[in-house]
Amino acid sequence: MDDFIIELEWSDDLNLMRQMCIDLYNITPNLVTNLPRSDYFKEVFEKNHAYWRARMWNKISLGPLLDRKEFNEWKRLIEKFKLYGDILFFVTCPEITPLFVPHRHPAESPYNFAGALMLPLIGTDERSITKYAHWHDPEDNKFIDSYNYIKGRPEQTQIPDDEVALEYCLHEKPAIFNRQQFHEVYNPTDSWRVVAHIVYNTESWKECKELSLIR
């Protein structure tokens, strides 16, 4: 399992980080309505180039904000856990998509981060499953993010059962996910499922395993 996912136990700081993620998500514009977009959000996040959005995710970049007093705890936690400082809020729901198609997260070095701290925030339950495909050499087609592209299949195809190495439910505990291995997420419910994805500042999965011991 630890080639793909490392399950963690909650600690005071991980619980704090989860609550701060929920607080950030609640002031971040909704991916469907683009609201709320408060004056505070525009002044702090947009003017500091600390906000990105795509169809299925919002991203807050904390780096430009860490000198502000209200982000002191984030600065401490980023240093403690060896995080990069970007928080992605991944959303699956009927209005956007129930399926994150099989993918990985390649990038040019030094930003080819190996692992992400995953925190369940809103609407997670035992029905929403992450599936990892069998281990794939990260150097093979290293900048291709699509599993189905490599397999020569339509993009919306889910990982076939005989190609699944691991199934996992991110619900009751935090975990570290391997970003360099192909995985999908499917939410079969009518509810919004929101999780936080916070990358570790390392390109080594082995180092992510070592960082998993920090509480």
Q: What is the pTM of this model?
A: 0.97
Q: Can you tell me whether residue 80 is helix, strand or coil?
A: helix
The pLDDT tens digits for 166-203 are: 999 999 999 999 999 999 999 999 999 999 999 999 99
Question: How many other CB atoms are found less than 10 A from the CB of residue 45?
Answer: 23
* Residue from 104, 81, 91 nearest 59 by CA: 91
Task: Identify the CATH number of the domain in which residue 118 sits.
Answer: 2.60.120
What pLDDT score was predicted for residue 3? Answer: 96
Question: Would you state the pLDDT for residue 141?
Answer: 95
* Token representation of residue 89: 């809020």
Domain interval for residue 67: 5-211
Total domains present in the chain: 1
**Mean pLDDT, consecutive 10-residue segments, the chain of 215 residues?**
96 98 98 96 98 97 97 98 98 97 97 98 97 96 96 97 98 98 98 98 98 95
